[in-house]
Amino acid sequence: MAAPSPIAFDAKTVAAAKRLKDSAADHGITMTLSTPGHGNTPARSVTITPDDAPGLTKVTIGYDWDVTIMDYDIEPPLFSEFCGDEFLVAHNLREVAEDMIQTFPELSHIGKFRMTYLWKAKGGMKGEKHRLGNCEKTSGMKQFFAKADFIIWLACDHAKTLGMTSRQLEALLYHELCHASFEEKDNGEEVTKVAQHDVELFHDEIRRYGLWTTDLETARETFRQAQIPFGSVAAGTAA
C-alpha cells in the first residue's frame, strides 16, 4: 500500500506543533489525527484526545510529528470601524503574521524588519481583477511616520464581498509576507526590497508553447505537490 501524500499545514498548526513537540510527552498529551477527504482522496483519521491540554481540539498527522490544529479566525473589520479613514490598524493580521514568521523558515528573515499591518477600506481594481492586498517598502517620510520597513494591507471590502474565508485571508497574508525581502550589497549592507513573483505567465502562452522556461517547469512541480484546494477567490489578485 502506497504511503499517503504529505499534508500541507497552515501556519498556526505548525506553530502549535513546535510548541508542543518537546513538552507533549512530559505532560502526557495525546492528540487527534485526521485529514478530510476531497474528491478521489479518502479521508484518513485516528481519533485521540488531548488529556492535558483542554484548548487543543483537533490534530493532523504528518510524517515527522503530529500537530494540533488551532485554526485562525481572521475577520475583516466592520466598515464603521474605519470612522471615515482609508486604513485601519490590523491587530488580528499582526498576530497571524508573527505566528507565520516564527513558524515558516522561508519567512524567518522578516523578523528583522519593522512591519505594519493594515486593513484598507477599499482595495480597488488591478485591471479587471479585485486588488486583494499589497506589500509596500517604505522610505523617507512614510518610513519615519510609519516606523516600519514594510506596510502590508488587505482589502476589507473585497474580503467581505467575495466571501473570503479565514483560510483564504491567511493565504493572502502569507502571499504579501513573501514580498518582504532584502538584498545584500557588496559592502555587506542589507537593503530591503519588495520581492517579485516567482512566476509570470499567460494562460495562452502555456497552451501554445508549454513550460518553455525553467520558472514554468519549476511551477509545474510546485502545482503537482500543492495541497488539496480549500476554495478559490473569484476574480482576485494579490499584488
35 vs 9, 38, 57, 238, CA distance in Å? 11, 9, 14, 28
Query: Which pLDDT value is given to residue 19?
Result: 54
Cβ neighbours of 109 (radius 10 Å): 13
For residue 99, what is its C-alpha cell? 505566528
Q: Residues 35-93: pLDDT tens digits?
A: 444 444 444 443 333 443 444 444 433 333 333 344 678 999 999 999 999 999 999 99
Residue partners of 4: CB distance under 8 A and separation at least 6: 35, 44
Q: Which residues is 41 bridged to in the sheet?
A: 38
Residue the block writes with cell 516567482? 198
- What span, in angstroms and rounded, lies between the C-alpha atoms of 215 and 213? 5
Q: Which residues is 45 bridged to in the sheet?
A: 34
**For range 155-171, the mean pLDDT:** 93
The model carries a pTM of: 0.70
Q: Residues 78-129: pLDDT tens digits?
A: 999 999 999 999 999 999 999 989 888 899 999 999 999 999 999 999 988 9
Residue partners of 180: CB distance under 8 A and separation at least 6: 110, 113, 115, 135, 149, 150, 152, 192, 194, 195
Query: Which pLDDT value is given to residue 134?
Result: 97
Query: Which pLDDT value is given to residue 29?
Result: 41
DSSP string of 98-118? HHHHHH-GGGGGGGGS-EEEE
Domain residue spans of the chain: 11-69, 79-238
Residue the block writes with cell 466592520? 78
